[in-house]
Amino acid sequence: MRPLVLLLTVVLMISSTRAQAEVLHELRPLGREQSVLRIYGAADFPVIKPFFDAFRERYPGVRIRYSEFGTRNLYQRFLERYPDTPDLMLSSAMDLQVKLVNDGYAQPYRSPETAALPAWANWRDEIFGFTYEPAVIAINRQRMPGDQLPRNRAELLDLIRRHSDKLRGRIGTFDIAQVGVGYLTWSYDSRQSASYGRMLESFGSHQARLFPSSAAMLQALTDGEITVAYNLLGSYSHAWAKRHPEIQVVLPSDYTTLVMRTAFIPDNAANPTDAKRLLDFLLSREGQQLLADRSSLYPIREDITGETTASALRRDRRSPLRHIPLGPSLLIQTDQASRRALLEQWRRAMPNLDLP
C-alpha cells in the first residue's frame, strides 16, 4: 500500500452484523480545500484509490469522502438516509443501482464522455457503466493436484461429485442475502443456467461457505480454508492470482456473466459539479486506462489496451460473454416476490445457514 501521509482512514462500524460495515476513507485535498465530494462505493478502497489520487491531482481543491459498503448495504443505506445523499454512487450491483434510478433517485448528465459510451452502458443518461466484471470460478490448484481443472459449470459439478468428501465445507460463494452483486449473478444464473438446480443442490449438500466479498473469498482460498470459489468478481481474482500462482481463475466456457460497475449522480447531490467532473474523468480515456493499469479493472471503453480489457476478454473465445444490459429488465432481480422466492430456495438448500 502507498504511504499513508495523505490518507486518513476512519473505520466506522455502523452496524454490528457481519458485512454491514461502513468504512469511511477520507482523502485530503492536495491544495487549498474548496469543496467536498461524497461518494458511496462498493469497490475496495485500495483498488479504487489510484484513480482518486489521479483525480485529486487534476482537481487539487477537492476533498474526497469515500464510504465503502457491501453492495446491498450500499443500497439500503442510500434509501435509509435519503434525502441526505452522497454526490456519486458507484456499485457493481447493477440491479440495485438500476432500481434506484428507475425509482427516480438519479439526475441526468450529458457530456462528450457519456455520449462516447456504448448504448448498452448508458441508461437514460442517468446511470453509466464504467467497468466490466466477469463472474468467475477460482480454484486453489494445490488442493486439487493431478486433477483436470473444470472449464465450465458442468465440469465443476462433476468435480464436486467426484471429490465429494474432499470438498465438503470447502466451496465458497457470495452470501446472496447480503451481497448485492452475489444476488445479481446468482439470480441471473437461476434464469440462464440449465445446471442451476443441481448447482444449488450440490452447494447445499456440501455445506458451501458464504462470504461477504470477493476479497474474503480469495483470502480464504489462499489460506486453504476453501478450495473452490464460485461467482467471484474477475478483476480481483485476476489481480490476486498474479500474486498467488496457486490460484487458478476460470472463465466458465458455457457462459460467463458480465456485470458492470455503474455510477449515477443522485438527484439530491449536494456537490454535483465535482461529481460530474469525477464521472467524466472516470469515463475518459485517461481514467479508463488508469483503471485498467493501476486497478486491474476491465474498462468499458473499447480503445483501452491491456490485459484486463473488454477486448481482451472478448478475444478469449473459450468463454461466451453474457453481459447483463442496463435497463428495466433488471427490475426482475430486485422484485420483492422474486427475491423472496429465490432466497427461500436458497435457504432451503443451505442447511448450514443460521436462519433468523
Partner 1 sequence: MARLVGVSIRRQLLWMAAGLLLALALSSYWAAQAYGERAARLSYDRLLTGAALQIAENIQIRNGEVVIDLPRSAFETLALAPQDRVFYAIVETNGQFITGYPDLPIQGLAWGRGADLNNPGVTLPVFYDEQYSGEPVRFLTLTRQLPETDEVREVQVQLGQTTRARQLLAEEISWRALQLLALFFVVAMVLILGGIWLVLRPLHRLNRGLEARSPQDLSPLQVEVPREIQPLLTTINRFMQQLGGTLDGLKRFTAEAAHQIRTPLAGLKSQAQNALVEEDEVRRREQLQRVVQSSDLLSDTVSQLLSQATLAHRFQSQALEPLTLDKLITDVCRDVAVSALHQGVEVAYLGQVLVPLNGDDFALRQMLRNLLENAIKYSETGDTVEVDLQRVERGARLTVADQGPGIPDSEKSQVFERFYRSPDNPRPGSGLGLAIAREIAVHHRALLSLKDNQPRGLVVEVLFVEVGSVLQGEA
Residues 122-151 that bind partner 1 (CB under 8 A): 123-124
Q: Which residues, including other chains, have CB under 8 Å from residue 72's CB and lie 6 or more apart? A: 93, 96, 178, 179, 180, 183
Residue 343 engages partner 1 in binding (rule: CB under 8 A): no
- In angstroms, rounded to a whole number, what is the distance separating the alpha carbons of residues 137 and 221? 11
- In angstroms, rounded to a whole number, what is the distance separating the alpha carbons of residues 179 and 194? 23
Q: How far is the CB of 121 from partner 1 (least distance, A)?
A: 12
Residue 50 engages partner 1 in binding (rule: CB under 8 A): no
**How far from each other are the two terminal CA atoms of the chain, in whole angstroms?**
39
User: Using an 8 Å Cβ cutoff, are 152 and 142 in contact?
Assistant: no
User: Using an 8 Å Cβ cutoff, are 251 and 308 in contact?
Assistant: no
Which listed range, 44-52, 97-105, 201-209, 233-241, lies at the site for partner 1 (CB under 8 A)? 97-105
308: how many CB neighbours lie within 10 A of its CB? 22
Residue 271 engages partner 1 in binding (rule: CB under 8 A): no
Which listed range, 26-34, 101-109, 212-220, 296-304, lies at the site for partner 1 (CB under 8 A)? 101-109
- In angstroms, rounded to a whole number, what is the distance separating the alpha carbons of residues 230 and 238? 14
* Of positions 9, 61, 332, 352, contacts partner 1 by CB under 8 A: 332
All three cell numbers of 149, joined, read: 481443472
Residue 338 engages partner 1 in binding (rule: CB under 8 A): yes
* Of positions 26, 149, 327, 347, contacts partner 1 by CB under 8 A: 327
Which listed range, 16-24, 38-46, 82-90, 331-339, lies at the site for partner 1 (CB under 8 A)? 331-339
Which listed range, 41-49, 256-264, 313-321, 329-337, lies at the site for partner 1 (CB under 8 A)? 329-337
In the complex, the residues that contact partner 1 under the rule CB under 8 A are 101-104, 119, 123-124, 191, 325, 327-329, 331-332, 335-338, 341
